[in-house]
Amino acid sequence: MPSSTQTTYPTILLDVTDGVATVTLNRPQKHNAFNEQMIADLTAVFKKLKGSDEVKVAVLRGEGKSFSAGADLDYMQKMAGFTFDENVADAMHLAEMLETVHEFAQAKPLIGKVHGNALGGGAGLVALCDYVLADDTTNFGFPEVRLGLRPSTISPYVLDRIGHENALTYFSMGITFNAGEARGMGLVHELAVGGQMEDRLRELVALAALKGRDGLLEERARDAYVPFELPTDRTVWTDMVTLIQNVEALSKAGDRQALMEFTARDIATARCSEKGRKGIQTFLESRGVGKDSAMAKE
């Protein structure tokens, strides 16, 4: 008989069966958008899995129509009223969650099963996975710039996955891109269609259980090259150049705590800027949320 345990968190479903942990983002009615609870739940889950002798491999997936569509609107409305110090503290929780998932993926194989939308922080989670299997209709993107913000906390992991030029381009443009483009830049490693996803996922889990992370990295290395060209009409924003240069320098220095602190302060600065305050408020109002809410405080 298979050994199986299920644990339900407020925003996460965790199933561990025969050494395979399936972590399911479980806010389907919100397209698995991040809020404080999901950030806390993901941190707790991946700390638990890293310390478990039973767990040999993990799968990260989303319930419902999307993998994760970024930040929750109510969460964004709340952040719009934060002071700078409150924004730094909030962003540190997100940075620590991402680093916790990163630490797990450095120790044990992590497979991402992605569909629907993977935007902003959702795309950041994708970048943390050792191997990403995506439905061929998935949409990806880093839309933060459209709100006057920056993808600060996810940038170390996205940079590591897709490289300087791709990150600079897509961070600056804020456009969505399809699964084929995501594969071309290395954010995704394999595309599948509909029912093929589960069959292929089982094969990847078996490979990871047998060979560990090395098996997934070998599988990645065997991927055929996919020609990919950057948009010819790209616009590069100076603040994205500065963000990426600082993240690259801190990553090279190897001080992970300093890197988290820098990215937390960077996004807090953007949120509390006039451009960021107006961008968030305009976005919320376009969605019918928070028309009378206060802007972020000075």
Q: Please answer whether residues 76 and 283 qualify as being in contact, where contact means their C-beta atoms are separated by less than 8 angstroms.
A: yes
In a domain, 297, yes or no: no
Determine the pLDDT at residue 294: 30
Q: Note whether residue 296 is domain-resident.
A: no
State the SS3 of the chain.
Answer: CCCEEEEECCCEEEEEECCEEEEEECCHHHCCCECHHHHHHHHHHHHHHHCCCCCCEEEEEECCCCCECCECHHHHHHHCCCCHHHHHHHHHHHHHHHHHHHHHHHHCCEEEEECCEEECHHHHHHHHCCEEEEECCCEEECHHHHHCCCCCCCHHHHHHHHCHHHHHHHHHHCCEEEHHHHHHCCCCCEEECCCHHHHHHHHHHHHHHHHCHHHHHHHHHCCCCCCCCCCCCCCCCHHHHHHHHHHHHHHHHCCHHHHHHHHHHHHHHHHHCHHHHHHHHHHHHHCCCCCCCCCCCC
Q: What per-residue confidence (pLDDT) applies to 16?
A: 97
- The pLDDT assigned to 73 comes to 84
What pLDDT is attached to residue 280?
87
pLDDT of the chain, 298 residues: tens digit per residue = 568 899 999 999 999 999 999 999 999 999 999 999 999 999 999 999 999 999 999 999 999 999 999 988 888 888 888 999 999 999 999 999 999 999 999 999 999 999 999 999 999 999 999 999 999 999 999 999 999 999 999 999 999 999 999 999 999 999 999 999 999 999 999 999 878 999 999 999 999 999 999 999 999 887 655 666 777 666 778 889 999 999 999 999 999 999 999 999 999 999 999 998 898 888 888 877 644 333 222 2
> pLDDT at position 261, please?
98
Predicted local distance difference test score (pLDDT) of residue 288: 74
Which residues constitute the domain of residue 125?
4-286
Assess if residue 294 is contained within a domain: no
Domain-embedded: residue 295:
no
Residue 12 in any domain: the answer is: yes
Q: Is residue 230 part of a domain?
A: yes
Task: Report the pLDDT value the prediction gives residue 296, as an integer from 0 to 100.
Answer: 27
Number of domains in the chain: 1
Domain assignment present for 298: no
Q: What is the CATH number of the domain that holds 241?
A: 3.90.226.10
**What backbone phi and psi angles, to 5 degrees, belong to 231?**
-55, 140
Q: Is residue 23 part of a domain?
A: yes
